Amino acid sequence: MARYTEAQAEAIRRHRQLLDNITVSVPKGERDKYKLQAAAAGMSLNAYIIKLMDDDRERLAEAIELLQSINN
């Protein structure tokens, strides 16, 4: 029995073409800790990592903007 219909499989293939993959290696046992941390925030591990990266990029952009305004 097929897990997905052919139409669903094709939709999944098209969606995956829109994504880049990043592999992160962590010490044994740490992955489960990170998954629990993400779950506590109500997110998947993937969504949690992306949110952390986006938040950090925003924080850095604000810091750079502040430094530029001080230097001008």
Q: Tens digits of per-residue pLDDT, 28-61?
A: 999 999 999 999 999 999 999 999 999 999 999 9
User: Which residues are within 8 A (CB) of 31 and not within 5 positions of it... i.e. 6 or more apart?
Assistant: 45
CA dihedral 33, 35, 38, 44 (to 10 degrees): 170
pLDDT score, position 20: 95
Mean pLDDT, the chain, integer: 94
pTM: 0.72
High-pLDDT (> 90) share of the chain, %: 92
First to last CA, the chain: 67
